[in-house]
Amino acid sequence: MNDLQKEKDEIVEIFGIHFESLFNISPLAARILGLLIIDGCKSGLTFESLVEKLSASKSSISTNLNLLLKMEKIFYFTIAGDRKKYFKAAPLSERLLNYKKMLESEKFVIDKMLLYREKTISCAEEKCNLENVKAYKNHIMEVEELLVKTIDKFKLIEINNNNNNNQ
């Protein structure tokens, strides 16, 4: 095995460990996602190539691909005249939208907490809690603003990249 192949395998493994804990998915699903990020960004990877590269059974690959599709971490496309599906990792802008959704949910909970705490404040500890919640809401709003800017930048990069590939 050459040095680049070793490096690629190591990166896929690192991605796998990261995604396994981040998304609470199986080790195989996490490695499929890592492999699609590393190897599938040009033309995608077929089901058969995933079976071969990951040395896993067809049923295991199929089950985990379906999970990743449902989670919107990957997508597939077909080519006219070719019966195969080609899998790719979802664009980074789309993957980051999931974090934005989590922040929106977090803001909803924070707003409910603020309204409740403002109505029921009765001691120094609750006043401290209220101030902490307000500071946390400001933090969440700043993170969301930065995330939206980053998503917009990635979308522009992805659009430019798609335009360059279509020429």
pLDDT tens across 69-101, in order? 999 999 999 999 999 999 999 998 998 988 899
166 pLDDT band, cuts 50/70/90, is: low
> Could you tell me the pTM of the whole model?
0.79
167 pLDDT band, cuts 50/70/90, is: low
Does residue 164 carry a pLDDT above 80? no
pLDDT of 105 reads: 95
Q: What is the CATH number of domain 3-89?
A: 1.10.10.10
Token couple for 126:
């609750």
Domains of the chain, by residue range, sit at 3-89, 92-165
Token couple for 78:
């077909």
pLDDT of 40 reads: 82
Does residue 162 carry a pLDDT above 90? no
Distances (CA, A) of 7 to 3, 4, 66, 106, 148: 6, 5, 28, 38, 33
Strands 45-46 and 82-89: antiparallel
| 113 within 8 A of 100, measured Cβ to Cβ | no
Give 17-66 pLDDT, tens digit per residue: 999 999 999 999 999 999 999 998 888 999 999 999 999 999 999 999 99
